[in-house]
Amino acid sequence: MKATIRVNGKDEDVPAGGLAALLAAHGVRQTRGCAVAINGAVVPASAWPTQTVAPGDDIEILRIVGGG
């Protein structure tokens, strides 16, 4: 079985370049207005460049949108 990660509820291949590569692939170009959690814990933006991603990780990539 191929090792995958969950990104926003969908299976994806493990990115070679860690979280930074994953975020780039998802079009995240800035830290403000965006946030990331891995396995239920927030990853501060300062740690994005060095954060590794391992098979089985459950990753949420979120951003600020209109809300009431």
Task: Show the binding pattern over residues 6-45: x = contacts another protein (CB under 8 A), - = does not.
Answer: --xx----------------xxx-x-xxxxxx--x-x-xx
Cβ atoms of 30 and 63 closer than 8 Å: no
To another protein, the closest distance from the beta carbon of 1 in angstroms equals 25
| CB nearer another protein, residue 16 or residue 65 | 65
Label residue 56 left, alpha or beta by phi (over 0 means left) and psi (-120 to 50 means alpha): left
Site of interaction with another protein (CB under 8 A): 8-9, 26-28, 30, 32-37, 40, 42, 44-45, 60-68
